[in-house]
Amino acid sequence: MTAHHLAQLNLVELRAPLESPEYAGFVALLDPINTLADRSPGFVWRLRAEDGADATSLRPFGPDVLVNLTVWETREALWDFTYRSGHLDALRRRREWFSPMARPSQVMWWTPAGTLPTVAEAARRLALLTEHGPGPDAFTFKDDVPAPGTPAAGLPG
C-alpha cells in the first residue's frame, strides 16, 4: 500500500440560498452522489458537519461557498469517481448551479495515510496554489505529481 493518500479540496459558490428552488436539483443529488463516493473503490474520508450527512452546512470559506474535502487512496481512485462514475453526469450539469469562480477553487495534495486533513490545512494548500501555482505541495489533475517516495509515472506505452 502507498504510504500517502490524496486529499482534495473543492469549492463552489452559491448564486442563491441552497434552500431556494433553483438548487432543488442539486440538493436532490447530494445523498446519492455522497453515497456513491462512500462506496467507491479507494475512498477514504470526506468532511461532514458533525450533525449532518454532508458538509453543506459548513461555510469556512464564506457564507455562500460550499466546501468539499475528501481523501482517496490514489489519484486514480479520485479520478475514476470524479469522471468515470455517475458523478460525471452531475458534473456535466454544474453550470446550471455554479459559475466558474474568479480564483482557484480546487487543489489536491498528498497526505500521510492515516492522517486526515483539516479545513485550515486545506485553506493553506489552496493559498499555496493560488500564490505560487502548481507544485509538489499543491496541485490539480492537470499536474503529474507522484506520491512522495514513488517514481514519477511513466509515459503510457
Partner 1 sequence: MSTAQTGGDGDGRAVPAAGGPGADLDALASLADPLRRALYDYVAAQDHEVSRNEAAEAVGAQRQLAAFHLDRLVAAGLLAEERRKLSGRQGPGSGRPAKVYRRAERQRTVQLPPRDYEAAAHLLAEAVERAGADAALHAAAREAGERRGAAAARERGGAGPASAAELLAALAAMGYEPADGSAAGAVRLRNCPFHTLAGAYPPLACGMNLALLEGLVAGLGAEGVRPRLDPAPGRCCVVLSKNNED
Nearer to partner 1, 31 or 76 (CB): 76
Does position 40 bind partner 1 by CB under 8 A? no
Q: How far apart are CA 8 and CA 46, in angstroms?
A: 9
List CB contacts of 149: < 8 A, sequence separation 6 or more: 3, 4
* Least separation in angstroms between CB 119 and partner 1: 25
Nearer to partner 1, 2 or 85 (CB): 85
Residue 89: its H or E element:
helix 87-92
**Across 14-139, where does the E strand assignment appear?**
43-46, 65-72, 106-112
Nearer to partner 1, 85 or 119 (CB): 85
Does position 151 bind partner 1 by CB under 8 A? no
> For residue 7, what is its C-alpha cell?
486529499
Interface with partner 1 (CB under 8 A): 76, 79-80, 82-85, 88-89, 91-92, 94-95, 99-100, 141-142, 144, 153, 155-157
